[in-house]
Structure 1
Amino acid sequence: MDQKLILTVSLLLVSATVIADYVRPPPRKTLSLPWGPKPASYPQQVHISLAGEKHMRVTWITDDKSSPSTVEYGTSPGTYSSVAQGESTSYSYLFYSSGKIHHTVIGPLDYNTVYFYRCGGQGREFQLKTPPAQFPVTFAVAGDLGQSGWTKTTLDHIDQCKYDVHLLPGDLAYADYIQHRWDSFGELVQPLASARPWMVTEGNHEQEYIPLLKDGFESYNARWKMPFQESESSSNLYYSFDVAGIHIIMLGSYTDYDEQSDQYSWLKADLSKVDRTKTPWLIVLFHVPWYNSNKAHRGEGDDMMAAMEPLLYAANVDLVLAGHVHAYERSKRINNGRFDPCGTVHITIGDGGNREGLAHSYMKPQPEWSVFREASFGHGELKIVNATHAFWSWHRNDDDEPVRSDQVWITSLVSSGCVAEKRNELRKILAAP
């Protein structure tokens, strides 16, 4: 046998063996964060989010309750041509009192531009980059982050990705009633969240509900204000926004979602305003997956799916991103439990790095609708290339290296003719009382 052929066959066998013998590394401990104290007026836990067309919300916390909610910003380091005044809030939770939480909207901003900014006139200068106005645009996706060693690895891998917006389908800090964990999470994600907008929706670990004492989501709503008012929603738990030619809807798995609910009514109103000639892509995020072949959390999304899937199907949602299950799974285009070329691709990506570990057990045999599934920590990257094509990839955290383990080209439903085909169906649902 030719030596080159022998070498090639050997390499293929070695490669196959490496894949077959892959052993998932064990969970890592919760991070012990070494940050020292800062002056009370210095900004902490800085993060940014989209706040309507050409605007960005800057959020930070100070220990000094008299610090101003102002943001100075401009396109040159140290030179601030504009200043914006915002609002502030705070909250108490049992024996914990938060610092002053500032929310300041800046803009109008130019697209695809780097801005330098300073919060409250104190501390270091930060910089951010606004998303582009047109395709291509790239999203980093990771849910169920927490604050473990794997979280840090995931964030490091996302930092290597040239992305424009981070999408997080619930379960951020895993504070679980211990409020200082919200603070440590804010410091952990600040390097990334202060530079690119983080768009989040709530998960079960954000509830922190105490009967007769505390309403749910108090800490989450105070710290992670999203553009719900800008999208005419009455709740921070569900909202929508646009990036380039993509309309993105963030839904709440832990607030009412039946056909008589405020969330359902808002969703109908939001979908009625979507113009697929301007935003040909339609993407939805929520926490609890509807399609899940993992043994963890089975059936928990069934009620929400029964209420909302017909509406999302009629609206031709291209992609649903969910978390909650601590593993990765991607479906075919699916509707009502069956393959449908005009259905939605569902991706579960609740494997950001939480302290609870991975969900290892799957149903056997693998359902016909399930294309790829694996219980490993990692993150996703979604590049919307143009009005018709997007490239999705999932990157496993393998020995601290991001390994692309799943990838697929996705064709928009607009380009497939499905939108035109179901136009009357959507009108009928939207017109129903």
Structure 2
Amino acid sequence: MAIKKTHFPFLTLFVVIIIIEYLKFDVVHGYDRPPARKTIFISHDDNDTVPQQVHISQVAQDKMRISWITESPTPSKVEYNEFLSKNTVSATGNTSSYRDGFYKSGEIHNVVIGPLKPNTVYHYRLGESTNTTYNFKTTPDRFPIKFAIVGDLGQTEWTVSTLNHIANSSYEMLLLPGDLSYADFIQNLWDSFGRLVAPLASQRPWMVTQGNHEIERIPIVHKTPFTAYNARWKMPFEESGSTSNLYYSFDVSGVHVIMLGSYAEFHHNSSQYKWLQGDLLKINRGKTPWVVVLIHAPWYNTNKAHQGEDESVDMKASMEDLLYHARVDVVFAGHVHAYERFTRVYKDKSDNCGPVHITIGDGGNREGLARRYQDPKPDISLFREASFGHGLLEVVNASHALWTWHKNDNDKSVASDSIWLTNLFSNPTCKV
């Protein structure tokens, strides 16, 4: 696939950003972000039938969803085989598209393939009109497993630096707690983002949840929120018993991962709350001794950015007890464009049976970093820094995992915060 990198027209982007800020779709509470690096635009120069924006997501331990876009209708077909095997298998799926104002998306293809062997390299080909071959590696069926975790990714020159660092990290799955493309109604930027991440997302499963920049709702003009996000990034919500692509869960390599929706209803009578309640009750800690949760808006935050928002305060008040009593090990969040790690915490106090909260909204977004913190630093906050970067969670075995945050230091990946975690299932005083 031939792609060309150009800078997106500045004036168009500037005007839209002003409109968004005026309508308060990006809820910012009176702080100034320092300038970020330039937004980039990845164009598509091949013919309309050539697959683009390829990404994969895990449907089950032995199944993957292959997603891609073509500008004109082509078969939703995937042919795949194990590395060095001549035994080719084919699978078919479905296509969809959406409209947003004058924009009409390309044909969005989704095909689920499997059963697949764990920890195995597969080659695959899309459609019938191209000889381009892709490859991916399935996740292991048990420990160890390494997750790359990054929030608020965007598509700037900082994003490119972050993606380069992640590509060199030998990760097996990427987890993204919201704010993917920062398209903000400019639908061509969704296409650009898909092309930007495809070299990585076509080789390892990317599991995402939504942030405020995915809402894209305008009263009267475009009433339905999350249109582009739900169409382009289909996650395994139905397989987990959820009724919404905005929240779901899955098991992978001894870890139960829960993706929550900060911008879906979360009160006690909501569908999300009831689903979460049931999902936590079904967890088998003998099978998945680790439980990890991702949200977009952080429940714990000592940065002056994004203080007092309903998606943080009210969601925490509604759901914190559920996570605490289920002995969730770690909660990752984005939204705040900086890094922060808390101790195990519950009800705003240190608690050895509470989850570790980590904010990692520092992928490379166009809005810049949130540099101002509360002073003095609360005791529950152990490490905080306003730098772009990414994190790696290496789950080594049923009881221990290594968390490392790597900051982008003049485009070099520098390990700047690291801690060994022991999960709560292994703590005799914190049994479920």
Q: Where does residue 252 of structure 1 map in the other structure? A: 261
Deviations 1:90-148 (A, max 9, x none): 00000100000001000000000000001112331100000001111000011000010
- The equivalent position to 1:317 in structure 2, one of 301, 325, 328, is 328
Give the whole-Å Cα distance in 2 for the aligned partners of 1:258 and 1:417.
Answer: 32
Q: Where does residue 113 of structure 2 map in the other structure? A: 106
Q: Where does residue 382 of structure 1 map in the other structure? A: 393
Pair 130,353 (structure 1): closer, same or farther in 2 beyond 3 Å: same
RMSD value, Cα = 1.4
For structure 2, list consecutive stretches of 5 or more residues without a partner in the other structure. Answer: 1-33
Task: Give, as a single letter, the amino acid of the residue that structure 1 aligns with 2:260.
Answer: L
- The equivalent position to 2:316 in structure 1, one of 305, 308, 314, is 305
Give the whole-Å Cα distance in 1 for the aligned partners of 2:35 and 2:107.
Answer: 38
Q: Where does residue 15 of structure 1 map in the other structure? A: none
Q: Where does residue 29 of structure 2 map in the other structure? A: none
Q: Where does residue 278 of structure 2 map in the other structure? A: 269
State the TM-score, normalizing by the size of structure 1.
0.90
Deviations 1:147-174 (A, max 9, x none): 1000000000000001100000000000
Q: What's the secondary structure of 1:214's corresponding residue?
A: coil
Q: Where does residue 77 of structure 2 map in the other structure? A: 70
- The equivalent position to 1:145 in structure 2, one of 142, 153, 178, is 153
Deviation of residue 52 (structure 1)?
Answer: 1.9
Q: Where does residue 121 of structure 1 map in the other structure? A: 128
Give the whole-Å Cα distance in 1 for the aligned partners of 2:138 and 2:427.
Answer: 31
Pair 290,61 (structure 1): closer, same or farther in 2 beyond 3 Å: same
Give the whole-Å Cα distance in 2 for the aligned partners of 1:231 and 1:368.
Answer: 37
Q: Where does residue 348 of structure 2 map in the other structure? A: 337
Q: Where does residue 28 of structure 1 map in the other structure? A: 37
State the TM-score, normalizing by the size of structure 2.
0.90
Task: Tell whether 2:353 aligns with 1:353.
Answer: no
Give the whole-Å Cα distance in 2 for the aligned partners of 1:36 and 1:348.
Answer: 34
Q: Based on CA coordinates, which of the two structures has the bigger radius of gyration?
A: 1
Give the whole-Å Cα distance in 2 for the aligned partners of 1:90 and 1:309.
Answer: 37
Pair 36,52 (structure 1): closer, same or farther in 2 beyond 3 Å: closer
Identity of aligned residues (%): 57
- The equivalent position to 1:404 in structure 2, one of 415, 425, 431, is 415
- The equivalent position to 1:200 in structure 2, one of 203, 208, 217, is 208
Deviation of residue 289 (structure 1)?
Answer: 0.2
For structure 1, list consecutive stretches of 5 or more residues without a partner in the other structure. Answer: 1-24, 424-433
Deviation of residue 418 (structure 1)?
Answer: 4.2
Give the whole-Å Cα distance in 2 for the aligned partners of 1:121 and 1:172.
Answer: 30
Deviations 1:151-207 (A, max 9, x none): 000000000001100000000000000000000000000000000000000000000
- The equivalent position to 2:226 in structure 1, one of 217, 231, 236, is 217
Q: Where does residue 131 of structure 1 map in the other structure? A: 139
Give the whole-Å Cα distance in 1 for the aligned partners of 2:164 and 2:87.
Answer: 30
Pair 357,293 (structure 1): closer, same or farther in 2 beyond 3 Å: same
Task: Tell whether 2:70 aligns with 1:59.
Answer: no
Deviation of residue 31 (structure 1)?
Answer: 1.4
- The equivalent position to 1:281 in structure 2, one of 282, 286, 290, is 290
Give the whole-Å Cα distance in 1 for the aligned partners of 2:227 and 2:361.
Answer: 23
Task: Tell whether 2:185 aligns with 1:174.
Answer: no
Pair 39,78 (structure 1): closer, same or farther in 2 beyond 3 Å: farther
Q: Is the 1:80–1:117 contact (alpha carbons within 8 Å) kept by the matching residues of 2?
A: no
Q: What's the secondary structure of 1:230's corresponding residue?
A: helix
Moved more, 186-195 or 266-275: 266-275
Deviation of residue 80 (structure 1)?
Answer: 5.6
Task: Give, as a single letter, the amino acid of the residue that structure 2 aligns with 1:243.
Answer: V
- The equivalent position to 1:154 in structure 2, one of 159, 162, 165, is 162
Q: Where does residue 52 of structure 2 map in the other structure? A: 44
Deviation of residue 26 (structure 1)?
Answer: 6.0
Task: Give, as a single letter, the amino acid of the residue that structure 2 aligns with 1:254.
Answer: Y
Pair 36,282 (structure 1): closer, same or farther in 2 beyond 3 Å: closer
Deviation of residue 32 (structure 1)?
Answer: 3.8
Q: Is the 1:73–1:79 contact (alpha carbons within 8 Å) kept by the matching residues of 2?
A: no
Q: What's the secondary structure of 1:391's corresponding residue?
A: strand
Aligned residues: 396
Task: Give, as a single letter, the amino acid of the residue that structure 2 aligns with 1:305.
Answer: K
Deviation of residue 210 (structure 1)?
Answer: 1.5
Deviation of residue 76 (structure 1)?
Answer: 3.2
Q: Is the 1:43–1:122 contact (alpha carbons within 8 Å) kept by the matching residues of 2?
A: no
Deviations 1:331-384 (A, max 9, x none): 000000000011110000000000000000000000110000000000000000
Q: What's the secondary structure of 1:27's corresponding residue?
A: coil
Give the whole-Å Cα distance in 2 for the aligned partners of 1:351 and 1:36.
Answer: 27
Task: Give, as a single letter, the amino acid of the residue that structure 2 aligns with 1:96.
Answer: Y
Task: Give, as a single letter, the amino acid of the residue that structure 1 aligns with 2:154.
Answer: G
Runs of 4 or more off by more than 3 Å in structure 1?
76-80
Give the whole-Å Cα distance in 1 for the aligned partners of 2:41 and 2:288.
Answer: 43
Give the whole-Å Cα distance in 2 for the aligned partners of 1:80 and 1:304.
Answer: 49
Give the whole-Å Cα distance in 2 for the aligned partners of 1:191 and 1:419.
Answer: 42
Q: Where does residue 302 of structure 2 map in the other structure? A: 293
Deviation of residue 87 (structure 1)?
Answer: 1.1
Task: Give, as a single letter, the amino acid of the residue that structure 2 aligns with 1:99.
Answer: G
Deviation of residue 36 (structure 1)?
Answer: 4.5
